[in-house]
Amino acid sequence: MNLVDYGIHNENSHIRAHVCPVVKKVYVYPTQSGIQAIETKHYPCVRGYQENVEFATAEGYLIPPFDIEKCIGLSFKDSVWEIIDFRASDHTSEKGNKAIKLVLAMVKKGLFPLLITLSAREITDEELQVKGQDIIVPSSAIHAQEDIIIQVKCDYIGGEKGLGGSGNLFLQTAESNPLKQY
């Protein structure tokens, strides 16, 4: 099956949050900073696979978190991670939903960087999610001229190598979705 051009470079977001359960961190950066890191061509492009699928289902770049300009890593107490209960055995969509739940809670509690608001809503419309919109912070809540759109990714083994992660974040640029998991 062919991969389609779909990822960070054509999503409609301002900010990305990579939730990395293995290292218990959330890495946050402006979407444009991730695109700029890819464009340097200093990082390997790799293919990703899903369990029970014999062909590649994603393609993207492996980039160390702090090689992405303005990327910050946020740590939380173990109890936060226990409540969300990420499991390696979770399906892709389950991991994604748990990641969104965590970031949404961060925004509502004022713990999300670059934003100073307690108002946000999860996007449940599948068509909007495919366009890269998971959470919207209304412009009125932050006195901005437009809504701030956050793309959330569960990057399960992503994060700093010294904390037990892969050493990178996976910035996807292409995918196929044979299992229809969103």
Please give the Cα distance from 174 to 10 (Å, whole number).
Answer: 10
pLDDT, residue 116, reads: 38
Q: How far is it, in rounded angstroms, from Cα 36 to Cα 173?
A: 13
Name the band, by pLDDT with cuts 50, 70 and 90, for residue 182: very low
pLDDT at 84: 95
Per-residue model confidence as pLDDT tens digits over 81-99: 999 999 999 988 899 999 9
Q: Which pLDDT band, with edges at 50, 70 and 90, does 136 fall under?
A: confident
Angstrom distance (rounded) from CA 67 to CA 53? 31
Residue 71 banded pLDDT, cuts 50, 70, 90: very high
Q: How far is CA 29 from CA 15, 19, 56, 125, 152, in A?
A: 6, 12, 27, 24, 11
Say yes or no to pLDDT of 118 above 60: no
pLDDT score of 8 more than 50: yes
pLDDT band at 142 (very low <50, low <70, confident <90, very high): low
| Range 126-155 average pLDDT | 75
Residue 144 has a pLDDT of 62
pLDDT tens digit sequence for 12-47: 898 999 999 999 999 999 999 999 999 999 999 999
How many alpha carbons lie under 13 Å from residue 72 in its C-beta half-sphere? 9
Helix or strand holding residue 151 (H, E): strand 148-154
The answer on pLDDT for 117 being more than 80 is: no
Q: Where do the structural domains in the chain lie, given as residue ranges?
A: 13-175
Is the pLDDT at 172 greater than 90? The verdict is yes
More confident residue, 148 or 36: 36
